[in-house]
Amino acid sequence: MKPELRSGSSFQCYLSNCVQFGGVTDNDVDGIGTTASAFLKNNKREVTRMRSAFYSDLNRFDLTKLKWFPIELKSDKTATNDSGPSARMNAAMVIKQGIVYLYGGLRELDERKQVNFLCLFFGYE
């Protein structure tokens, strides 16, 4: 299943697959639309109120089949938090020896654009 349109997602390729994590979609509260359409329609530099939807999903794009697949997380018996990574955008991601590592990223806390920097570390096979 193809993931929803978003920005700020992490994306890395390894062998014949690409992995995508997280990201954000901004939706206009005042009825203009998404971030891009609000920017194009709002040329008077007016303030536009947006509501952000952050993602914590992990998806795989198969380069040979040209299809998207969701990645199911395996719980690690030694991990203290088996719920997976929290929703965020702009996380650093690297794949080494088939394991995906995520670090950092951020999430807006409210409409004043206060941000919360997330420094949790997760690895996936």
Q: What is the pLDDT of residue 79?
A: 52
Task: Count the domains in the chain.
Answer: 1
Residue 88 lies in a domain: yes
Q: What is the pLDDT of residue 15?
A: 92
66 to each of 6, 44, 61, 98, 103, how far by Cα in Å?
19, 42, 7, 20, 27
Residue 1 lies in a domain: no
Residue 103 lies in a domain: yes
The string of pLDDT tens digits covering residues 82-106 is: 567 888 899 999 888 888 888 888 8
Q: Which domain holds residue 53?
A: 10-124
The string of pLDDT tens digits covering residues 27-81 is: 877 665 555 555 555 555 555 667 888 999 999 999 999 999 998 876 555 555 5
* Whole-structure pTM value: 0.72
Residue 19 lies in a domain: yes
Given a contact cutoff of 8 angstroms between Cβ atoms, the answer to whether 36 and 74 are in contact is no
89 to each of 4, 61, 107, how far by Cα in Å?
14, 19, 6
Calpha distance 49→55 (Å, rounded):
20
Residue 39 lies in a domain: yes
Instruction: Kindly state the tokens that stand for 16.
Output: 């014949």
Residue 97 lies in a domain: yes
The string of pLDDT tens digits covering residues 51-60 is: 888 999 999 9
